[in-house]
Structure 1
Amino acid sequence: MFNVPVRPKVVCLCGSLRFGREFASERTRLTLDLAIVLAPEGTEASVLDPLLVRALGELHLRRIDLADEVRIVNPGGYIGEATRREIAYANALGKPVTYFHEPAIGDS
């Protein structure tokens, strides 16, 4: 029998949405570890209004605010500009940042 913790760990996934399979894998793994998983959602629209893109980026920072840990989904070590901003934001808040694939030294 599994016992859900009174206060489950909340993990926010960050990274490029082009890694959809890896996001799904991490979401499943963390859920089976009885964590609450927060993550961005991909959209079907190929070109979004720049104001909406900015608002979605801010929304993701609010997910980081709620998280106990930030997990970077970065197959092959890839970390884009937006993810770097999210890592810096999490670091400024003192949130632990973990990686799907450890970046090269000086890369984060």
Structure 2
Amino acid sequence: MPERPEIVCICGSMRFLDDMRAVSQSLTLAGHIVLLPSEIDGPIADEQKAALGELHLRRIDLADRVEVVNRGEHYGESTLREIAYAEAAGKPVTFVGLAWGSQ
């Protein structure tokens, strides 16, 4: 058994939050520590959104690898930025695409 569990940061559009939660549950049950984007109810100001984006990059810094959750092949600007950041930091990036309607 490793000294500590692998830390996985999940990235993806908040439109796929339910999918990210399902991936988080699976990873957690497999013995990983999971870092997810912050869930904020209601509207947020542009500066708050930027601050949350920077905070998520710090999660990537803490992670051993990044798991990108998506449906299809389109990635938004924030997710592309997170992928590029992780790759530049030498973090392995894996992708999981869930089918529409799956849970």
How high is the TM-score relative to the length of structure 1?
A: 0.85
Q: 1:32 aligns with which of 16, 29, 34?
A: 29
Secondary structure of the 2:83 match is: helix
Q: 1:94 aligns with which of 86, 90, 98?
A: 90
Q: Counterparts of 1:77 and 1:37 in 2: how far apart (Å)?
A: 23
2:68 — aligned with what?
72
Query: What does residue range 1-108 of structure 1 map to in structure 2 within 5 Å?
Result: 5-46=2-43, 48-101=44-97
More strand by share: 2
Alignment RMSD: 1.5
Q: Counterparts of 2:38 and 2:3 in 1: how far apart (Å)?
A: 27
How far does residue 6 in structure 1 lie from its aligned partner after superposition? 2.3
Give unmatched runs, 5+ long, in structure 1.
102-108
Give unmatched runs, 5+ long, in structure 2.
98-103
Residue 38 of structure 2 contacts residue 52 of structure 2 at CA under 8 Å; is this kept in 1?
Answer: no
Q: Counterparts of 2:17 and 2:36 in 1: how far apart (Å)?
A: 11
Aligned length in residues? 98
Off by >6 Å, runs of 4+ in structure 1 = none
How high is the TM-score relative to the length of structure 2?
A: 0.89
Secondary structure of the 1:42 match is: coil
